[in-house]
Chains A and B, each alone.
Chain A
Amino acid sequence: QQKVQQSPESLTVSEGAMASLNCTFSDGTSNNFRWYRQHSAKGLEVLVSIFSDGEKEEGRFTAHLNRANLHVSLHIREPQPSDSAVYLCAVSMNSNYNVLYFGSGTKLTVEP
């Protein structure tokens, strides 16, 4: 069974400072990686999807994937207080794209 773990559990950064979030996964056949965020009592907003090793940028959000190290990260450039939310890493495998395995999330707080 795929295990997805995120670190840190919580992160506080100052407005404008780079925020970096980590995600490790256990199944080396994984090939779809998504970062979502969830504001309190709201739905999930997809931020960036990445499917091959390297980097993928969507606005201020950049994902880095290193499948050999079973690691995917999210970097948020110039975070704003409105970026405060829980960030979720979601992984799916080649055998079934439909099933997303989620990490437990990183709670990001951006202080003015």
Chain B
Amino acid sequence: GPKVLQIPSHQIIDMGQMVTLNCDPVSNHLYFYWYKQILGQQMEFLVNFYNGKVMEKSKLFKDQFSVERPDGSYFTLKIQPTALEDSAVYFCASSFRDRGPGNQAPLFGEGTRLSVL
């Protein structure tokens, strides 16, 4: 079936550096999401993106975070600069639509484990 691909699976970076996490969503999907899961904790919503814009973001989506999807390519999450507390697994998700009867469940990628040293 359709899959959301995330690249890389693991990224190690020094505190203060910039990192970009890449997500290749399902080809006909229109809504894109990032979630963050710190080891041993619940998965938490960061941001969702539609039609080139951030639709909603949580308080976890700090000023150092940004998202974009230039020209229908990868959907990216950029963190600049990184901090120790950014260490987590970041999951990308996509869906065709966001509401309506039987609206489709977002499909999730396998996550990128980010380690900030």
Interface residues of A (CB under 8 A from B): 4, 32, 34, 36, 41-44, 46, 49, 51, 88, 96-105
Interface residues of B (CB under 8 A from A): 3-4, 31, 33, 35, 41-45, 48, 55-56, 58, 91, 93, 98-99, 101-103, 105-111
CB-CB < 8 A to B45: which residues of A? 99-101
CA distance A46 to B41 in the complex (A): 20
B35, B44, B108: residue with the most chain A Cβ atoms closer than 10 Å: B108
B33, B93, B105: residue with the most chain A Cβ atoms closer than 10 Å: B105
CB-CB < 8 A to B110: which residues of A? 41-43
A102→B56 contact, CB < 8 A = no
**Which B-chain residue is minimally distant from A45 (CB atoms)?**
B108
CB-CB < 8 A to B103: which residues of A? 32, 97
CA distance A34 to B107 in the complex (A): 11
CB-CB < 8 A to A34: which residues of B? 105
CA distance A49 to B35 in the complex (A): 19
Interface pairs (21), CB distance under 8 Å: A4-B42, A34-B105, A36-B108, A41-B110, A42-B110, A43-B3, A43-B4, A43-B109, A43-B111, A44-B93, A46-B105, A46-B106, A98-B48, A98-B55, A98-B56, A99-B45, A99-B48, A100-B33, A100-B45, A100-B106, A103-B42
Smallest CB–CB gap between B54 and chain A, Å?
Answer: 11
A43→B31 contact, CB < 8 A = no
B102→A98 contact, CB < 8 A = no
